[in-house]
């Protein structure tokens, strides 16, 4: 209880912006958000940056992914790549609230959260969770909509090499069949509007692999919301 009170008090006090070191400031100041988090046109199904007026990329038109909608708050580049690495591997779970706020503010995110029946954070395998100490996707989802977050439905029962160390073809093979639903999970997701939550989307292989068992279970609509998307 005391720890929670101290956390609320520290969040209310002025500090430095993590990006420009301006003081006093929020963790991410308005000037840096205006400079580095400016919305850009993105593909509606994979969140890849696109020219203005284009809504779907050629890859998604040729082979539609198992996602109805995909939203990304920022591009995975300076300064976000460094901040996300600090968040995940620092580890610095206290960054969950400001980073989730960044996700909530991206175009379409508030509506997607409101329309979702359930938020499903991308799970970590047991060894990865023990090594890191927390699941960043779960912490982000709890900040976005704690009452809708269900970390018990989508499971990752086996460990695999980190996606960041693999080439594209290897990434696709690496996550094939890696996700499953918990006992009774299929009944819960059937006919539901689902929001998958993760921190970084690179090729989309992990999110697509997570969507496949949800589709098979009869999910009515699947949106992915990520903090950052690689170009």
pLDDT value at 198 more than 90: yes
Please count the other Cβ atoms lying within 10 Å of the Cβ belonging to residue 172.
17
203: CB partners within 8 A, 6+ apart: 163, 168, 171, 172
* Helix, strand, coil percent content, the chain, rounded in steps of 5: 40, 15, 40
Return the pLDDT at 131: 86
Burial status of residue 153 (CB atoms within 10 A of its CB: 0-12, 13-18, 19 or more): buried
Please count the other Cβ atoms lying within 10 Å of the Cβ belonging to residue 102.
20
Return the pLDDT at 176: 63
Return the pLDDT at 132: 86
The closest of 175, 181, 178, 176 to 194, measured between CA atoms, is 181
pLDDT value at 168 more than 90: no
Q: How far apart are CA 109 and CA 175, in angstroms?
A: 26
pLDDT value at 169 more than 70: no
Domains of the chain, with CATH numbers? Answer: 1-36 (no CATH), 40-229 (3.40.50)
The closest of 154, 137, 156, 9 to 84, measured between CA atoms, is 137
96-146 pLDDT, tens per residue? 999 999 999 999 999 999 999 999 999 998 888 888 899 999 999 999 999
Rg of the chain over Cα atoms, rounded to whole angstroms, equals 18
**Residue 24 — pLDDT band, cuts 50, 70, 90?**
confident
The closest of 83, 199, 194 to 140, measured between CA atoms, is 199
Return the pLDDT at 172: 47
What pTM, to 2 d.p., does this model score?
0.87
| Structure-model confidence comparison of residues 175 and 57, the more confident one | 57
pLDDT value at 14 more than 70: no
Q: How far apart are CA 21 and CA 38, in angstroms?
A: 19
Q: How far apart are CA 222 and CA 112, in angstroms?
A: 10
Percent of the chain with pLDDT over 70: 85
Return the pLDDT at 4: 47
Q: Which ranges in 26-182 belong to alpha helices (H)?
A: 30-36, 58-62, 80-89, 96-104, 109-115, 126-132, 136-144, 168-174
Helix (H, G, I), strand (E, B) or coil at 21: coil
37-53 pLDDT, tens per residue? 999 999 999 999 999 99
Return the pLDDT at 78: 95
Mean pLDDT for the chain overall: 88
Return the pLDDT at 91: 84
């Amino acid at each position: 209880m005391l720890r929670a009170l101290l956390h609320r008090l520290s969040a209310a006090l002025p500090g430095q912006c993590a990006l420009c070191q301006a003081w006093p400031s929020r963790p991410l100041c308005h000037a840096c958000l205006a400079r580095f988090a400016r919305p850009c046109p993105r593909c509606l199904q994979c969140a890849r940056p696109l020219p203005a007026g284009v809504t779907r990329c050629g890859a998604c038109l040729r082979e539609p992914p198992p996602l109805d909608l995909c939203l990304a708050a920022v591009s995975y580049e300076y300064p976000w790549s460094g901040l996300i690495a600090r968040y995940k591997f620092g580890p610095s779970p206290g960054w969950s609230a400001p980073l989730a706020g960044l996700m909530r503010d991206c175009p379409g995110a508030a509506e997607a959260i409101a329309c979702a029946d359930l938020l499903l954070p991308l799970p970590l395998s047991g060894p990865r969770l023990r090594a890191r100490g927390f699941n960043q996707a779960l912490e982000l989802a709890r900040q976005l909509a704690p009452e809708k977050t269900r970390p018990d439905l989508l499971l990752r029962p086996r460990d695999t090499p980190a996606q960041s160390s693999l080439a594209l073809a290897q990434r696709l093979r690496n996550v094939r069949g890696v996700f499953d639903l918990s006992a009774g999970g299929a009944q819960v997701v059937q006919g539901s509007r689902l929001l998958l939550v993760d921190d970084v989307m690179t090729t989309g292989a992990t999110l697509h692999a997570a969507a496949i068992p949800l589709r098979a279970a009869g999910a009515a609509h699947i949106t992915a919301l990520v903090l950052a998307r690689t170009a």
